[in-house]
């Protein structure tokens, strides 16, 4: 059993480093850093579990369960921020405090180890199941089925923690480091499910990035189309323009004759201001010109 806990330490530590790497090198969203913190807390919690028999009980029992509850609540907080859920998350931080009090009471006052594990499991499963419900209800646009699958993975994590607690109640002569088949099976499932849970969150982040890229590409295509239309209109000024030899009106594509000023203004950003050139001024107003 100690080897199982050590395996979970390695898994959680690796996942925390992976999340940190993605956070530093890729596009991430609010709440991602909280997930990284949650993975780190989970690694420390499982390390304390593995130290049972070599560390004081308040470290390997009380602190370990409290940190495990806190890691799940931090992940829930990160998920709420990621999904932009307008729900206060601070009441959930009472769960680790409750775990600290209940586990300490069951360990020191009444010495009920199975119930201690079962209660700690319920308090860990509650935020995990709530997190799964949020992901399923707030399905990412364009990835609805994908979000449901990810929510199901998160729910499976919460259910696994409950199964671990129930296995403690059903195991005669229960010991946390005891090598019962049921406890070994649940811990082995946890080793497999933990990376799946984190990969699910990474997949949610990637799905959002892809969605934003798709919107940006659509906007870019519209911009390119507008530019092409503008260029096409500007090019009409470079072709052969039928112009009246007398009044200088220009015939457009529809056959309508219009003033050259209006024609150019409608097809470009040019504006006209009227003046008189020197040649015309000498013809029309010779009396106003100096010799």
Q: Report DSSP letters for 55-77, one per residue.
A: B-HIIIIIIHHHHHHHHHHHHHH
The tokens for 128 are 């995990």
pLDDT of residue 38: 92
What pLDDT shows up at residue 290? Answer: 63
Q: What is the distance between the alpha carbons of residues 20 and 198, in angstroms, rounded to a whole number?
A: 12
- CA 278 to chain centroid, in Å, comes to 69
What pLDDT, on the 0 to 100 scale, is given for residue 11? 87
Asked if residue 147 lies in contact with residue 135, where contact means CB atoms within 8 angstroms, the answer is: yes
**Residues in contact with 148: Cβ distance below 8 Å, sequence separation at least 6, in sequence order:** 136, 139
**SS3 at position 112:** coil
**Do 73 and 39 form a contact (C-beta atoms < 8 A)?**
no
pTM value? 0.70
Structure token digits, residue 110: 């009444």
**Distance separating the N- and C-terminal Cα atoms of the chain:** 113
Give the pLDDT confidence score for residue 200 in this predicted structure: 80
Contact 75, 45 (CB under 8 A): no
**Which among 71, 30, 88, 39 has a CA at the least distance from the CA of 205?**
30
Confidence at residue 243, expressed as pLDDT on a 0 to 100 scale: 86
Q: Which residues pair with 281 in a beta bridge?
A: none
**Averaged pLDDT, groups of 10, the chain, 291 residues long:** 81 90 90 92 90 85 90 91 84 91 88 84 89 80 70 84 80 62 69 79 82 85 85 64 84 85 78 82 77 52
pLDDT of residue 142: 55
Buried b (16+ CB within 10 A) or exposed e, 156-171: bbbebbbbbbbbbeeb
CB proximity list for 254: less than 8 A, separation 6 or greater: none
């Amino acid at each position: 059993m100690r080897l199982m806990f050590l395996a979970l330490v390695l898994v959680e530590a690796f996942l925390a480093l992976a999340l940190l790497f993605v956070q530093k090198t890729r596009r991430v969203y609010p709440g991602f850093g909280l997930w990284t913190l949650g993975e780190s807390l989970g690694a420390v919690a499982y390390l304390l579990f593995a130290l049972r028999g070599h560390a004081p009980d308040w470290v390997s029992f009380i602190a370990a369960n409290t940190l495990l509850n806190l890691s799940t609540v931090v992940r829930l907080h990160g998920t709420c921020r990621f999904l932009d859920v307008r729900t206060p998350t601070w009441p959930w931080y009472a769960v680790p405090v409750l775990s600290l009090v209940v586990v300490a009471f069951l360990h020191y006052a009444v010495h009920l180890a199975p119930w201690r594990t079962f209660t700690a499991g319920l308090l860990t499963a509650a935020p995990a199941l709530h997190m799964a419900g949020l992901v399923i209800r707030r399905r990412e646009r364009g990835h609805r089925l994908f979000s449901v699958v990810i929510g199901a993975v998160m729910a499976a994590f919460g259910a696994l923690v409950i199964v671990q607690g129930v296995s403690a109640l059903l195991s005669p002569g229960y010991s946390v480091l005891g090598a019962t088949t049921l406890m070994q099976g649940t811990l082995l499932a946890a080793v497999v499910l933990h990376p799946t849970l984190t990969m699910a969150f990474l997949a949610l982040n990637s799905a959002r990035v892809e969605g934003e890229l798709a919107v940006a590409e659509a906007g870019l295509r519209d911009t390119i189309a507008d530019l092409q239309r503008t260029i096409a209109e500007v090019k009409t000024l470079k072709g052969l323009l039928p112009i009246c030899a007398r009044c200088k009106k220009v015939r457009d594509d529809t056959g309508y004759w219009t003033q050259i000023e209006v024609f150019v203004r409608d097809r470009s950003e040019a504006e006209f201001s009227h003046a008189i050139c020197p040649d015309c001024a000498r013809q029309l107003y010779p009396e106003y010109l100096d010799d």
